[in-house]
Structure 1
Amino acid sequence: MSERHEAARALRSSEARFHAIVSNTPGLVYQFVLQSDGAIRFPYLSEGCQALLGIGAEQLQVDASRFLALIIADDRDSHTASMMASAADKTSWNWEGRIWIEQWKDIKWINLRATPRALADGSVQWEGIMTNITQSKLEEEEVKRSRAQLAELSAHVETVKEQERMRIAREIHDDLGGNLTAIKMALALLARRLTGDANLVEKADYLDSLVDRTIESVHRISGDLRPSILDFGLVAAIEWQAGEFEKQLGIPCEVVTSRTDIKLDPDQATALFRIFQEALTNIGKHAKASRVRVDLVRGARNVQLQIADNGCGMASEDRMKPKSFGIRGMVERASALGGDLSVTAGRDGGSVIAVRVPLAASPRAGKRSAGRTIRAKPADGSASLTKPPPQSGNLF
């Protein structure tokens, strides 16, 4: 008898500890059974049932389908699918979704985590916990909204910057360029009247050459602010920039595209061109490359731009350092257009910058031509056209 009393006392003590733990556990501790005939039941529900679900434990134990009725219609399929997958594979059941509490006129986000085990009658029983994750979901949504607003602001700032660049470039070209041209014409008239004074003629020639250099600087600065080549399309602009890069640094820059032109929204074309410029700047400064290849492809739904070099590459931890403003700027430009940008290591060394931007609804496809490879030759203005090499994943 003493052993029986001792066992009963130990059982009561164990139950007391269990109830103490459960009562101090946030959320709802439960047992859930899926019978072989598809029926469901809750053998056990903790006291947190009423607070979480707005239904008493006794009511749910009488009619477990009342829990399913709480789940918002859009989330029921995912609940059922996750339950059936857990039952079939005997893997942990982890689901989150929304429920509607009628008496509180409130939507809650809940998360349930449970571990399944097979019963002798073919049923599956889970022991787990449901928790209220509404606050974390609201915070998550707020973060998403903040990020969306930040992306929208970033896109607006870039648009304003480009508009201001266009305005400044136009004023420099029209006003300053016009004044310099007038000065050059006036100098030419003066020089013709100074034939008798060699010293003054020499100074006039010097001023004339200085005006020429200034006019070249005006054209260069205007082009840097807003390259007029963009008016001829993105393909032409990228080919031109590749040629300038090769001319200035002596690094061969090959442009491969399957279209003679890719018509895009002006903001998209400008953003892709700026990303391309920044990528070439980074290659010129840091890559120690001897060759660059550019692939520009227009798909059915997006435009893809890939810039690969065979240089020293970039360590993964260096790609998104806080002070990597060039890369971060490229990522933000792509993100502002609803696209994405990645920086990865090339198969045989170097780095690969890949940009993908979704097409706007208005632009139409450019004229399709046979695949071609364009090797920039800015020195003499020529370009060689050949069939592009097969895409094996290795750009060199």
Structure 2
Amino acid sequence: MQRLRIDLIAAARPNFMKVAPLFHVLHEQPWCRLRLVHTGQHYDQNMSEAFFRDLKLPPPDLHLGVGSGSHAKQTADVMLAYEEACAADRPDLVVVVGDVNSTMACALVGAKLHIPIAHLEAGLRSGDRRMPEEINRLVTDTLADILWTPSPDADEHLAAEGVPPEKITRVGNIMIDSYELMRERIDASGERRRLGLENHAYAVVTLHRPSNVDTPTPLTALVDQLIRMAARLPLVFPVHPRTRKNLEAFGLCSKLADAPNLQVIEPLGYVDFMNLVCGAHLAITDSGGIQEETTYLGIPCLTLRTTTERPITITEGTNRLVTAAGLVPAVDEILAGRWPQGRKPRLWDGHTAARVAADIRRRLLRAPPHVAEATAVPATAHQRTRGNA
């Protein structure tokens, strides 16, 4: 049997969570050989290597060691290093995930070397091109030969952009696979107990987007609102390194430290963090993944952004977009029991990686349809029409 040589690209924290379930499924297949590529875009111990350990990933086969830098430098460094790796050992398929700089950079390398590219989590759009992630999504989806989408809105976006329907397969949400993969360890983590939150109502806070944390005015406003919220509900705030640096630079650390009912802690690995999320009464975030996880778990989520590339978490789930000024009123609505319950979107079921593996085999090896593949959803004519409206 022909064996496909497949590169799985991981770069930043969300990538690791998305790559892990797919790695485990593909690793068991006799028809492929994997190379796990870590670009090194995030190099902090708490934000990279810990996630490989938590998600039972082996050390990467290839570590590009790119590190931080401007968007241009980071993209260029990844391209240079990954092009050299492909020249030395050419894969048959490059699988990129998410929307970080490494996603776009490796897609560009694959396209220029005429290596097929597959994008997991394709078709997500916020409509805000000021976000670097939005540019990365647009470029990657333009270059990709295979586009695996998590939801109907993603199918519609790609159709509206002229992507041929035969390139698109809806496979579901890979983040849910990650959660289910680690569910027993998450439940057994004990992080809530260590923080004294077991059997208590509390909220989890995460902030890292430049629009929220890189300048004094918005970050100060958010700190003030968090302190007000903590008077209503205890908060636990694992602080991203970027956010901590700016809290210190803007003289806001002492305000948080002095606030009652507000615990500021170091970043957590995936297992411990999800143990906190699972027990939370609500989540406050500007992240993408938490919007999805809270929808799956039925936990109210307040997203501190003006747009989201995951609108299904609003139309079907428990997520809502809020401003800093809207945080406290929204929390009051949640505490009063007036928050929509939502439901789990279709194919958010923990079997996305199996559908991806079946789609690779069908497309590249022309194998007969697999049982798992039957649950993948190609874009329909109706969706294509709506997408062009």
**TM category, shorter:** under 0.3
Which protein has the bigger strand share? 1
Q: Which has the larger radius of gyration?
A: 1
Please give the TM-score of this superposition, normalised by the length of structure 1. Answer: 0.19
Please give the TM-score of this superposition, normalised by the length of structure 2. Answer: 0.19
